């Protein structure tokens, strides 16, 4: 990480993300160098905030483009001025405070996806979270082990599938001894902000017939609100699990 003093040194200290980006790019190049199917694949490395709670569960993503109902043709998120599509490898800014080898594992994981993109193989579904079995050979090819499997080799986390990975012992040793990551490049990171959950309206239950109705946010603020069961004509109570 570079700390540069401004011309007015006493007024501003400028921290640059360039060393972190450079270190990420260096690892991408080292990871993808052995593969000969990437000659026409163009990649850009970014560090961006999660943007929403769902994305915040991930450590990074690989994105080649998007489709809409109005235009089902794949549109690239990034492209050159000449119109050539560019695959995005993004590290989530709020996750850049993790240990250096954990960050490296995320980069290598996303490199496995880049190899699959080059082969036009779909390795994920459900918005990119569930990893199918097609992801396994790509993960192993870049030096990852598939983790989070039960005794029968099935994923323990159904929503992620075969996407829980870890550095193999050989790759870990190679990163530490040969690649030698510059940990100081990641001294600046974006803080993870815990956003409060939206209040849920209460659910009322009739203790006689056990039918339930959902209230509204006004009910949440006024828990003494009387809600009558139209069938039994008795006051309903707020469920204990609410």
Rounded to whole angstroms, how far apart are CA atoms 212 and 231? 12
Contacts of 51 (CB under 8 A, 6+ apart): none
Mean of per-residue pLDDT scores for the chain: 86
Q: 166, 189 in Cβ contact below 8 A? A: no
State pTM to two decimals: 0.75
Q: C-alpha distances in angstroms, 22 versus 1, 11, 25, 79, 161?
A: 10, 27, 5, 20, 31
Q: Is 153 left (phi over 0), alpha (psi -120 to 50) or beta?
A: left
pLDDT tier, 57 (very low <50, low <70, confident <90, very high otherwise): confident
Is the per-residue pLDDT at 84 higher than 70?
yes
Per residue in 9-33, pLDDT (tens digit) is 567 888 999 999 999 999 999 999 9
How far, CA to CA in Å, does 50 sit from each of 54, 60, 91?
Answer: 8, 9, 9
For the chain, what's the residue count? 242
Residue 4's pLDDT is 63
CB count, 10 Å around CB of 22? 15
User: Which sequence spans correspond to the domains of the chain?
Assistant: 2-186, 203-238
Is the pLDDT at 6 greater than 60, yes or no?
no
pLDDT tens for each residue of 114-158: 999 999 999 998 778 899 999 999 999 999 999 999 999 999 988
Q: Specify the higher pLDDT residue, 206 or 113.
A: 113
pLDDT at position 221 over 50: no
């Amino acid at each position: 990480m570079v700390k540069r003093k401004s011309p007015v040194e006493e007024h501003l200290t400028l921290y640059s993300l360039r060393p972190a980006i450079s270190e990420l790019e260096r690892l991408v190049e080292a990871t993808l160098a052995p593969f000969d199917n990437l000659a026409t694949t163009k990649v850009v490395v970014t560090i961006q905030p999660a943007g929403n709670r769902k994305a915040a569960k991930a450590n990074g993503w690989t994105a080649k483009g998007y489709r809409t109902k109005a235009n089902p043709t794949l549109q690239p998120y990034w492209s050159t001025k000449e119109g050539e599509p560019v695959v995005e490898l993004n590290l989530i800014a709020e996750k850049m405070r993790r240990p250096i080898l954990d960050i490296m594992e995320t980069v290598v994981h996303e490199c496995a996806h880049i190899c699959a993109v080059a082969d036009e193989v779909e390795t994920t579904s459900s918005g990119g979270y569930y990893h199918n079995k097609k992801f396994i050979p790509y993960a192993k090819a870049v030096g990852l082990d598939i983790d989070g499997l039960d005794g029968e080799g099935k994923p323990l986390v159904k929503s992620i599938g075969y996407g829980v990975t870890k550095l193999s012992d050989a790759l870990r040793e190679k990163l530490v001894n040969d690649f030698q990551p510059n940990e100081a490049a990641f001294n600046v990171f974006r803080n993870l902000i815990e956003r409060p959950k939206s209040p849920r309206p209460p659910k009322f239950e009739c203790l006689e017939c056990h039918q339930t109705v959902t209230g509204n946010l006004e009910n949440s603020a006024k828990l003494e609100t009387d809600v009558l069961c139209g069938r039994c004509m008795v006051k309903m109570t707020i469920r204990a699990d609410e």
